[in-house]
């Protein structure tokens, strides 16, 4: 039995979906613990692509329990659409159970309206929100005015909260932002239908996880986004609205911290970022364009191009510390194939000071930093057929070894292509 947490070590989009899918076959429970449909996991199985925004990636495996934890904010329309799409494509296994925490908060139309209105109203630098209503939903959670799934399922409570919230949000939408108000009755009618569809999935998922532990099951905890989008520890304010570090798995599912056995950090072989914010190693030349095109670096949720740059080990080292990462999984190593020389950022310089262990908290200081690079020989040999580290060309092996040396954490798997089978497994958390 093992309880394993998977988190991203960069700004998200590290390829967590493929890794979760890879390990899910050995897990009995796959639980997601934060975020909403601002996340997107892309899986390629037998040549068929699937993109999930809410449902854990393990849903493709039969005989599993897939959990949407209390730390999430859920757009019921998106969730129902995903469920229906899986069933239509015959991808929802017959013996797999989907459980949604009755304590998870619900994204409402006024959340999406406020998100969009604020982003459009902002003058100057924008955060780059996906405008999915994630931030405003978490705001209501913190101010204790949010609507949880258990509230949605209780008609009297739902109606009472909806009246109060729509009145307040419509004032903000119309008076502050000059946007269109929400129609309370329309929302009520729409969400009553969602309640009927989701009722059978709602439960206390903390108890589901507890019972699985007592039965000696393997549990995989799946995070969304990446460590540097964490609301507390990320490059604030260019962050998401939830805690993305490993500790959030405990708060977001009701897991006790003494139950954690391993934390795996997903590290893309280069760095990408969607939206605004400083990016020390960003490449705006032909190499950056090549990585962007070859790596198909488009947001699974937004479709926006991802900014691309060299691997930044300052980011990774901070994530290792904040999440207690015990093993690294390198993804998309194959995208760097064909480069004669590759660079790794080992630190930042600012006014004579060097940062190698952490990202400056002051965003203005971070913006003024300059990357410190090590340059290495690259490789030109295709690596998609590699199934052991020894199969990799010498340049790729040295690249992996240098990442291990700089972060102090061993690499336990390397992705050399988009498919399930295109993976080098060095060590396995469940086997």
Identify the band that residue 411 occupies on the pLDDT scale cut at 50, 70 and 90: very high
Identify the pLDDT of residue 175. 95
Count of other CB atoms within 10 angstroms of residue 246: 26
Given the candidates 3.90.170.10, 3.30.70.20, 3.40.91.10, 3.90.1150.10, the CATH classification of the domain at 267-425 is: 3.90.170.10
Kindly report which listed range (116-125, 141-150, 355-364) carries the lowest average pLDDT score: 116-125
User: Do 3-102+201-262 and 105-197 show the same overall fold?
Assistant: no
Q: Which residues contact 372 (CB under 8 A, 6 or more apart)?
A: 345, 346, 347, 348, 349, 354
**Pair type for strands 202-203 and 353-355:** unpaired
Q: Which sequence spans correspond to the domains of the chain?
A: 3-102+201-262, 105-197, 267-425
Residue 264 CA to its chain's centroid (Å):
13
Identify the band that residue 123 occupies on the pLDDT scale cut at 50, 70 and 90: low
pTM of the model: 0.94
Identify the band that residue 124 occupies on the pLDDT scale cut at 50, 70 and 90: low
Identify the pLDDT of residue 43. 67
Q: Which residues contact 216 (CB under 8 A, 6 or more apart)?
A: 1
Mean pLDDT of the chain: 94
Identify the band that residue 289 occupies on the pLDDT scale cut at 50, 70 and 90: very high
Identify the band that residue 128 occupies on the pLDDT scale cut at 50, 70 and 90: low
Please give the average per-residue pLDDT across 20-26, as a whole number: 89
What confidence tens digit (pLDDT) does each residue in 307-357 have? 999 999 999 999 999 999 999 999 999 999 999 999 999 999 999 999 999
**Residue 129: φ, ψ to 5°:** -60, 155
In order, the DSSP letters of 34-74 are SB-TT--EEEEETTEEEEESSS-GGGGSTT-EEEE-TTBEE
13 is catalytic: yes
Among 13, 115, 151, 312, the one annotated catalytic? 13
> What percent of the chain is predicted at pLDDT more than 90?
84
CA neighbours within 13 Å on the CB side: how many for 45? 18
41 is catalytic: yes
> In CATH, what class is 105-197?
mainly alpha
Residue 235 has pLDDT above 60, yes or no: yes
3-state secondary structure of 130: coil
Domain 3-102+201-262 has CATH 3.40.440.10: yes
Among 21, 28, 37, 41, the one annotated catalytic? 41
Please give the average per-residue pLDDT across 159-165, as a whole number: 98
Residue 98 has pLDDT above 80, yes or no: yes
Please give the average per-residue pLDDT across 214-220, as a whole number: 97
Q: Which residues contact 218 (CB under 8 A, 6 or more apart)?
A: 1, 2, 3, 4, 26, 27, 28, 29, 430
**Which residues on adjacent β-strands are paired with residue 121?**
none
Cis peptide before 314 (omega within 30 of 0): no
């Amino acid at each position: 039995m093992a309880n394993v947490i998977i988190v991203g070590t960069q700004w998200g989009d590290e390829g967590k979906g493929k890794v979760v899918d890879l390990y899910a076959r050995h897990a009995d429970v796959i639980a997601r613990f934060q975020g909403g449909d601002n996340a997107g996991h892309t899986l390629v199985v037998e040549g068929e692509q699937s993109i999930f925004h809410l449902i854990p990636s393990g849903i493709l495996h039969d005989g599993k329990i897939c959990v949407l934890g209390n730390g999430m904010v859920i757009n019921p329309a998106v969730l129902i659409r995903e469920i229906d799409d899986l069933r239509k494509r015959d991808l929802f296994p017959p013996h797999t159970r989907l459980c949604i925490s009755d304590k998870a908060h619900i994204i409402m139309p006024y959340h999406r309206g406020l998100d969009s209105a604020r982003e459009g109203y902002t003058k100057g630098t924008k955060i780059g929100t996906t405008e999915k209503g994630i931030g405003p939903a978490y705001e209501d959670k913190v101010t204790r005015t949010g609507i949880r799934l258990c509230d949605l399922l209780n008609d009297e409570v739902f109606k009472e909260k909806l009246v109060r919230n729509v009145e307040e949000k419509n004032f903000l939408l119309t008076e502050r932002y000059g946007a269109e108000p929400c129609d309370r009755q329309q929302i009520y009618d729409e969400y009553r239908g969602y309640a009927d569809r989701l009722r059978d999935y709602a439960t206390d998922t903390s108890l589901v996880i507890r019972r699985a532990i007592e039965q000696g099951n393997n549990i995989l905890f799946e995070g969304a986004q990446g460590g540097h989008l964490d609301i507390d520890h990320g490059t604030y304010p260019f962050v998401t609205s939830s805690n993305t570090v490993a500790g959030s798995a405990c708060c977001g599912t009701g897991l006790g911290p003494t139950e954690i056995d391993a934390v795996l950090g997903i590290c893309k072989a280069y760095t990408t970022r969607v939206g605004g914010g400083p990016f020390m190693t960003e490449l705006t030349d032909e190499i950056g364009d090549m990585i962007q095109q070859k790596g198909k670096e488009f947001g699974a949720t937004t479709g926006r191009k991802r900014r691309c740059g060299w691997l930044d080990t300052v980011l990774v080292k901070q994530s290792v510390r904040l999440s207690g990462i015990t093993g690294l999984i390198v993804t998309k190593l194959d995208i760097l194939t064909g480069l004669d020389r590759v660079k790794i950022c080992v630190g930042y310089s600012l006014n004579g000071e060097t940062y190698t262990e952490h990202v400056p908290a002051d965003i203005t200081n971070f913006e003024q930093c300059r990357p410190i690079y090590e340059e290495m020989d690259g490789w030109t040999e295709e690596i998609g057929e590699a199934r052991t580290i020894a199969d990799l060309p010498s340049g790729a092996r040295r690249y992996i070894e240098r990442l291990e040396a700089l972060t102090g954490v061993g690499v336990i798997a390397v992705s050399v292509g988009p498919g399930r089978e295109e993976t080098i497994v060095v060590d396995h958390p469940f086997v």
